[in-house]
Amino acid sequence: MQNAKFKIQRWMWVVGVIVLLLVSWFGYRWWNRDVVMVKTATVAKGVIEEVISSSGVVDAPVYELGTKLGGKIGVWKVREGDRVRAGQLLAELDSYEQAANDFQRTAKLYEQGVMSKQSYDAAKTMFESSRIISPNAGIVAKIEFDEGETVVPGQMAVTVVNYDKSWIEAQIDEIDIANVKVGDRVKITSDVYPDKVFDGELYWIAPLAELRKVGGRVKMDEESYVFPCKVKFLGNHEDLKVNMSVNVDIATKKNPDALIVPREALISKDDKAYVFVINKFNRAKETKIEIGIRTVSSIEALSGVAAGDQVAVSNVSKLKNRGRVKIER
């Protein structure tokens, strides 16, 4: 009898423990039914810079040179890759020596009043057409003919590129044009040189918008308008060649002492901006903030939060004002 009674008590004890565990489990679930798991970030002071990004192409003064009358190349005075100055002789045709002598003789006779102006001009044209002169400083980029080969009138014989005067042609989206101005500093990068950053300055913005160009041509299915602009280089940029594609980041605003909040913390409601500040009791407080500078990853908070505040950066859509949270470590 006592054995049976003991068994009943033991089973009652076991059932009691099970009931207690179930009650505790359901109680724990009920108590934590509105707890939201969040990750947090600390509001901190730092530098924030508003940047407008665009693609661009390197351009430069390019001089494609030949002769008016054509002729056979006598001698090249330069080679590809040579730096040349404005007015430098690049090539002489095989008629150069004869044309130079004729022009000298005709010029003297013209000064003496013996030769007509028409004859003087004709001799001068023959002399100028017997040589190729660089109109500006630059680098000999390409020589099209060997010595002894014939160049026809108007045909390009040599190309000179003035890399020192190169610039970038870029396109600013219509939506961004109000935020940029001449004089804005520019950071220039290229996929060719991923570890290099070149400095520039925006110096011209077109007064009229045009359809976006891709590869120098307007895409038939492209309906967005852009404003062409030009960026001059500041400092060394010899690695960037003509027609090379680059990335352009225009810095429009900068605050070196801003309160920075990650963009993931931001929520919008009734055209106002809010974040959830997490207090020491793990409660989320819905806090309205005023936004200054915006970047892709962060925003500047002008009011509403302070340095050191913890803000939720995950599951923010599930949070409620004064709701409980559990912070993921």
Beta bridge partners of 325: 36
pLDDT at 101: 95
pLDDT at 26: 45
pLDDT at 115: 87
Residue 259 is classified by DSSP as: E
Domains of the chain in sequence order: 36-48+256-327 (2.40.420.20), 52-60+164-254 (2.40.30.170), 64-95+130-163 (2.40.50.100), 100-128 (no CATH)
Q: Which one, of 213, 160, 168, lies nearest residue 186 by Cα?
A: 168
Cα gap 250→200, rounded to integer Å: 9
Radius of gyration of the chain (CA): 38
pLDDT tens digits in sequence order for the chain, 329 residues long: 556 655 666 666 665 656 555 545 544 454 455 788 899 999 999 999 989 999 899 999 999 999 988 899 999 999 999 999 999 999 999 999 999 999 999 999 989 888 899 999 999 999 999 999 999 999 999 999 999 999 999 899 999 999 889 999 999 998 889 889 999 999 999 999 989 999 999 999 999 988 887 766 666 555 678 999 999 999 989 899 999 999 999 988 889 999 999 999 999 888 899 999 999 989 999 999 999 998 888 999 999 999 999 999 999 998 999 888 888 87
Cα gap 22→13, rounded to integer Å: 14
Helix or strand (DSSP H, E) at 26: helix 2-31
**194: helix, strand or coil:** strand
Could you give the C-alpha distances from 206 to 181, 210, 213, 215, 251, in angstroms and in order?
A: 11, 9, 14, 19, 18
pLDDT at 136: 94
Q: Is the pTM of this model over 0.75?
A: no
